Chain A
Amino acid sequence: MKKTLHYLLLSAIALLCVFPFWWTLVTALSTEGNVFAFPPTFWPKAPSLANFAEVFRVIPLWDFFRNSVVIAACTVLWKLIFCSMAAYPLARMHFKGRKLVFGLILATLVLPSEVNFLVNFITVTKLSLVDTYTGVILPNVVTAVAILLLKQAFEEVPQDLIDAARVDGASEWTIFTRIMLPLIAPWLATVGILTAVESWNEYIWPSIVMSKPDEFPLSVGVLYLRGTFGSSTRVVAAGTIMTIVPTLVAFLFAQRFFMRGMDGAVK
């Protein structure tokens, strides 16, 4: 009885979380009937993929998709390189200024980063990076959270391994690339997946930097769809579904990474 109540409660909340997705999917798959009808339809009428095909026909969805992939891939790659490089000495070296650097990195957690966009827009303009992937990617490459997570990972590597390598005459760079990075691969994966989804979903900054529609990533392009086809709700719904699918698939396959990423961020 108690269990039933438990499930009932969970199901009600789950319904609230998932229902908008379901309704959008039903709308995208249906080809008949009024979109907004009383009572609403909760199952597709005359289901077909026509609305999806329509999205491809009227907007450069593949371009948006490619832009998102390039931006996400570059952000992940550079973030893993630069943040792991920064995390390594913070975790394993004793050097002058360590506390200061660490403090500065922590400070960026507290500073309200959203207010940076305005000046960053000036900076990106002055660097002539407007309308470039680089302009979208650069400000997101280094984040305090990534550095902290990777620092924690490096701290768990046994000191013996490093000492042994030093005795064998390995340079710091060799130790870093040959020993440390392979050992923290699961954490690199965590940071990589979190970053990929974050970057895929980022909306405000790319919409500031990119001005030409064919350069938009999906997150921005999908709104462009609404602007162009205000009347065709089904096409908008179809475009919406296609935008979410990659993140949902990534999420379902990498669920444990999401949970672990959060776990690490809190500690």
Chain B
Amino acid sequence: MSRTTLTAWLFLAPALVLLAVFSFWPVGFGSYLAFTDYSLIRPTHWVGLDNFRYLFANEMFVTGLVNSVLFLLMVPCVQVGALALAVLVNNQLPGIRLFRAAFYVPVVTTVSVVGIMWGFMFHEQGTLNYVLLLFRLVDAPVGWLSHDGIALFAIMFVTMWRGLGWYMVMYLAALQAVPADMQEAAILDGANRWQRFWKITVPMLRPTIAICTILSVLAALKAYQEVDVLTQGGPMNSTFTALYYAYDQGLKHLKLPRALAASFVVSLLCIGVALCCLRWLKPKHR
């Protein structure tokens, strides 16, 4: 081994050790445990697909899986919203920085605090119901978090509320990298604002759109934090997501193999969907 190689590996060693222990080991060992009856007190046996059979016969997990997939509905909303917002704040109007900051503030707020605040907003006598009643959009106060058909969508809304600013900044950075002379040339050619957006901006943003969409798909499939702080899976188990089920089983009921099997399913789903997104969003060769 040359001197440089040795030095390089010495520099890398601490990071690699931590990555191995806390990133690679959990993936490998976790996948193995999903096929066993592991517990902290008994010897471990290989049980094949038993855990998975249990899961797919389990109503709570299936609801969770369906809800996780339903969460994908927020992906187009949050991406279109964030891109539109980025376009709105990508100019030199006075006070624009203040607006950017306002849109980013939800991003830097702890999820537990977000949960408490939206708990207030969604309260039966909370502000949201007040506004809706004021404008006659509803006849009676809505139980945003207490109605089993609505709670999941309320949680999705909060997730969007938290994510919008984050994606906005990603798009903003990409928009500012679009060369101005291309826009100017298009203006000279008589292209209107709308044409310039679709023909120049969107194609230039394609890589960013791809990354953001994939990240937001993964985030949707892995949703659990907002569930934990807003409803803990209720009412009547209607807001369980697959990953929330995994934590619930693993950390509260200490059924680790079952929990790991559930998170294994989530991982497969994430990887599968991410690969599909990559294919769809890859620039087409002409």
A residues sitting closer than 8 Å to B (CB atoms) are 3, 6-7, 9-10, 13-14, 16-21, 23-24, 27, 36-40, 81-83, 85-86, 88-90, 93-98, 101, 104-105, 108, 110-123, 125, 138-139, 141-142, 147, 172, 176, 197, 200-201, 203-204, 208, 218-220, 222-223, 226, 233, 236-237, 240, 243-244, 247-248, 250-252, 255, 258-259, 262-263, 265-266
> What residues of B have a CB within 8 angstroms of the CB of A266 in the complex?
170, 173-174, 208, 211
Q: Which of B86-104 contact A (CB under 8 A)?
A: 88-89, 93, 97, 99, 101-104
- Tell me which residues from 120 to 165 in chain B have a Cβ below 8 Å from any Cβ of chain A: 120-121, 123-127, 130, 133-134, 161, 164-165
> Does A95 contact B4, Cβ atoms closer than 8 Å?
yes
Whole-angstrom distance between the alpha carbons of A70 and B24 in the complex?
Answer: 27
Given contacts A112-B266, A240-B117, A247-B109, contact A118 B14 (CB under 8 A): no
Instruction: Find out whether the CB atom of A119 lies under 8 angstroms from the CB atom of B117.
Output: no
A-B contact count (CB 8 A): 247
Residue B191 at the chain A interface, CB threshold 8 Å? no
Which 7 interchain pairs have the tightest Cβ spacing?
A86-B15, A119-B26, A89-B8, A36-B125, A115-B263, A116-B26, A95-B8
* Inter-chain contact B110/A108, CB cutoff 8 Å: no
Q: Which residue of B lies closest to A233 (CB)?
A: B120
A237 to B118, CA, bound (A): 11
Residue B250 lies at the interface, judged by CB distance under 8 Å to chain A: yes
Could you tell me the distance between the alpha carbons of A176 and B101 in the complex, rounded to whole angstroms? 36
Flag if B33 contacts A142 (CB, 8 Å): no
Are A259 and B9 in contact (CB-based, < 8 A)?
no
B29 contact from A6, A97, A119, Cβ within 8 A: A119
Q: Are B16 and A86 in contact (CB under 8 A)?
A: yes
User: A118, B246: Cβ atoms under 8 Å?
Assistant: yes
Please give, as numbers and ranges, the residues of chain A lying within 8 Å of B234 by CB-CB distance: none
For A263, list chain B residues within 8 Å (CB).
173
The answer on a CB contact under 8 Å between A94 and B4 is: yes
What are 28 pairs between A and B in contact, CB < 8 Å? Answer: A7-B93, A23-B121, A24-B120, A85-B12, A85-B15, A86-B15, A89-B11, A93-B4, A101-B16, A108-B23, A112-B266, A115-B267, A116-B26, A118-B250, A118-B259, A123-B22, A139-B22, A141-B18, A142-B19, A222-B116, A223-B115, A237-B116, A251-B104, A251-B105, A259-B169, A259-B172, A263-B173, A266-B208
Interface of A is mostly: helix
Q: Determine how close the nearest CB of chain A comes to the CB of B133; give it in whole angstroms.
A: 8
A203 vs B115: C-alpha distance when bound (angstroms): 11
Chain B 32-80 residues near chain A, CB threshold 8 A: 33, 40
Give the dominant DSSP class at B's interface. Answer: helix
Known contacts A108-B19, A266-B174; A20/B118 CB under 8 A: yes
B186 sits at the interface (CB 8 A): no
Find A203's partner among B110, B120, B125, B126 (CB 8 Å cutoff). B110
Name which of A10, A243, A265 has the most chain B CB atoms within 10 A of its CB: A10
The answer to whether A123 touches B25 (Cβ under 8 A) is yes
Cα separation A24 to B117 with both chains bound (whole Å):
7
Q: How far is the CA of A18 from the CA of B250 in the complex (A)?
A: 36
Which of A16, A95, A172 is packed against the most chain B CB atoms within 10 Å? Answer: A95
- Residue in B116, B121, B218 with the greatest tally of chain A CB atoms within 10 Å: B116
Which residues of chain B are near A98, meaning CB under 8 Å?
Answer: 8
- Interface residue? B256 (CB, 8 A): yes
* Interchain nearest-CB distance for B78 vs A (Å): 13
Distance in Å from the Cβ of A203 to the closest Cβ of chain B? Answer: 5
Per the bound structure, the CA–CA distance linking A186 and B251 in Å amounts to 40
In the bound complex, residues from chain B placing their C-beta under 8 Å from that of A201 are 108-111
List residues of chain A with CB within 8 A of the CB of B112. 203, 219-220, 222-223, 243
Specify which chain B residues have a CB less than 8 angstroms from the CB of A222 in the assembled complex.
110, 112-113, 116
Among candidates B101, B116, B166, B270, residue contacting A226 with C-beta atoms closer than 8 Å: B116
Residues of B within 8 A of A250 (CB): 108
